[in-house]
Amino acid sequence: MRLGFASTSLDDISEQYGATKGIIYYHFRNKTNLFFAVLHRAMELTRSAIEPEALSEGSARERLARMANAHAHLMMEHLAYLRVSGLGAQLHLSGRTSEAEREQMRAITEMRDKNEQLYIQVIDEGIANKEFRTVNSRIAVKPLLGALNWTSRWYRPREGETYEDRNKLAREISDFVVHAFLPQPSRNAHEE
């Protein structure tokens, strides 16, 4: 997260982890495999945060709000994983990759797409129920996820920050996300 993929050595990782490189090599053949494990874990964490909310009871609006809130909390609570996931994949893929690395990236992309599909299903349900305005959910989900995932770029924990501080921030973010889908008042109704 601090040095970037290219600049981080296994010595840096072992020093930060407080273990020998041998222990790291026991679990991962190289830095790239460790990197893909981080990306894979980020997708698992995301799924664990949003899936229960997507499949829970309540209106589409309520579920979308809970999904976005859980996603925002995830970004703050697992900042290192999610920042590396957001920045690292693009940086790594900008270089040459092997077929094995491309296969791992395809698997991670499939996980990401399944997570995205949870949002699309809730948005589509909200459109069908007239809770949300009519949008192309496959396009609208992109800025939704951009707003949520961008948290990993700007969020920095503050000294003395409490869970309630993070909860207030997560509510602000989730309110922003949900309001993007609400029906807009008609011009005539607004003028009256």
Average of per-residue pLDDT across 168-185: 95
pLDDT tens digits for range 119-135: 999 999 999 999 999 99
DSSP code, position 189: H
pLDDT tens digits for range 5-35: 677 777 777 787 777 878 777 787 787 888 8
pLDDT tens digits for range 93-151: 666 677 888 888 889 889 999 999 999 999 999 999 999 999 999 999 999 999 999 99
Residue holding tokens 């996300």?
A: 177
Identify the CA nearest to 82 among candidates 106, 49, 54: 49
pTM above threshold 0.75 = yes
Question: Regarding predicted confidence, which is higher, 70 or 190?
Answer: 70
